[in-house]
């Protein structure tokens, strides 16, 4: 096989998290008295770190961004985490990779506690050697390059590794750690976004990703 370790982004790669994230963002904006932008704008929150998104997309200053993130996490902790579902065929796909002897790791900007809770809820945690996410008390830990670096170190990865993710942040974070990245076009990034960021290959479906990783 070409690789022996696969790092996975979570939102838009392992699970379709649109409903929970969009509702969490909407809740935060309503709590702050902000007008809701179009749904296409709200889906842009899927993937990047929240502080970055509230600032860049909504033009919030530091204090307002911090409030928005707290409100987002309040809704997400109560409801949003469960408004989520694995992509069709994901459990079978992960089982096949695991059976083939690949080491599987989650590397997500989502808080690690939420990532673990969601994967356990859908009985997917069994396939992963490590679940690595951010820590709310340390904003820098949500940077994708930092998450990938922490995951590689925590799992003691020394062999051939590849990242799989659906946004440019995944591609760029992998690249900063010397890893190629396969773009999951079935998620929330476009083929153009992923290609421009330098994705090594693109997968339009979970089946295509299966073929790229296992042949």
Distance CA 94, CA 214 (A): 11
Please calculate the CA angle 100-106-109 and round it to the nearest 5 degrees.
160
Catalytic residue chosen out of the listed positions 9, 11, 16, 143: 9
Q: Find out whether 47 and 19 touch, Cβ atoms under 8 Å.
A: no
Please list the pLDDT of the chain residue by residue as tens digits (215 residues): 589 999 999 999 999 999 999 999 999 999 999 999 888 889 889 878 899 999 999 999 999 999 999 999 999 999 999 999 999 999 999 999 999 999 999 999 999 999 999 999 999 999 999 999 999 888 888 899 999 999 999 999 988 999 999 999 999 999 999 999 999 999 999 999 999 999 999 999 999 999 999 98
H/E stretch holding 104 reads: strand 103-111
Could you confirm whether 9 is annotated as catalytic?
Answer: yes
DSSP class of residue 194 equals H
Q: Is 159 helix (H, G, I), strand (E, B) or coil?
A: coil
Note the pTM of the prediction, 2 decimals.
Answer: 0.89
């Amino acid at each position: 096989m070409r690789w022996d370790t696969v790092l996975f982004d979570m939102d838009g790669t392992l699970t379709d998290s649109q409903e929970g994230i969009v509702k969490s963002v909407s809740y935060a904006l309503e709590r702050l008295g902000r007008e809701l932008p179009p749904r296409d704008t709200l889906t842009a929150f899927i993937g990047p770190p929240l502080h970055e998104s509230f600032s860049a997309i909504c033009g919030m200053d530091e204090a307002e961004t911090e409030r928005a993130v707290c409100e987002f996490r309040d809704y997400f902790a109560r409801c949003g985490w469960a408004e989520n579902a694995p992509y069709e065929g994901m459990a079978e796909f992960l089982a096949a990779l695991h059976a083939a002897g690949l080491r599987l790791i989650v590397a997500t900007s989502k808080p690690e506690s939420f990532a673990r809770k969601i994967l356990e809820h859908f009985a997917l945690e069994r396939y992963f050697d490590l679940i690595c996410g951010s820590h709310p008390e340390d904003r820098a830990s949500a940077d994708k390059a930092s998450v990938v670096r922490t995951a590689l170190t925590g799992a003691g990865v020394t062999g051939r590794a590849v990242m799989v993710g659906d946004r440019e942040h995944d591609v760029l974070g992998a690249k900063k750690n010397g890893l190629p990245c396969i773009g999951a076009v079935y998620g929330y990034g476009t083929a153009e976004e992923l290609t421009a960021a330098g994705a090594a290959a693109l997968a339009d479906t979970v089946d295509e990703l299966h073929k790229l990783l296992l042949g």
